[in-house]
Amino acid sequence: MLVNCVAYQDGRRLADLDLHEIHSYLERPGCFVWVALKDPTEAELEEMRAQFGLHPLAVEDARHGHQRPKIEEYGDSLFVVLHVVEAAGEELRMGEMAIFVGLNYVLSVRQHSERGFADVRARAEREPQLLKNGAGYVLYALMDAVVDRYFPMIDAVEMELERVEEQLFSGRSPRENIEALYYVKQKLTTLKHAAAPLLEHAGKLFGGRVPHVCAGLGDYFRDVYDHLVRINQSIDAARETVNTAIQVALAMVNMGHGEVTKRLAAYAALVAVPTMIAGVYGMNFQHIPELSWSFGYPFAIAMMAVIDVVLFFRFRKAGWL
pLDDT at 96: 93
Share of the chain above pLDDT 90, in %: 44
Contacts 24+ apart (CB under 8 A), 239-246: 239/185, 239/188, 239/189, 239/192, 241/161, 241/165, 242/161, 242/181, 242/184, 242/185, 242/188, 243/185, 245/161, 245/164, 245/165, 245/168, 245/181, 246/178, 246/181, 246/182, 246/185
Which residue, among 217, 2, 26, 211, has the nearest Cα to 105 in the 3D structure?
Answer: 26
pLDDT at 166: 86
Q: Does residue 240 have a pLDDT over 90?
A: yes
Note the pLDDT tens digit of each residue in 154-190: 999 999 999 888 888 777 777 888 889 999 999 999 9
pLDDT at 268: 83
The values of phi and psi at residue 98, to 5°, are -105, 135
How far is the C-alpha of 308 from the C-alpha of 296, rounded, in Å? 18
Structural domains of the chain ordered from first start: 1-128 (3.30.460.20), 254-318 (1.20.58.340)
pLDDT at 115: 86
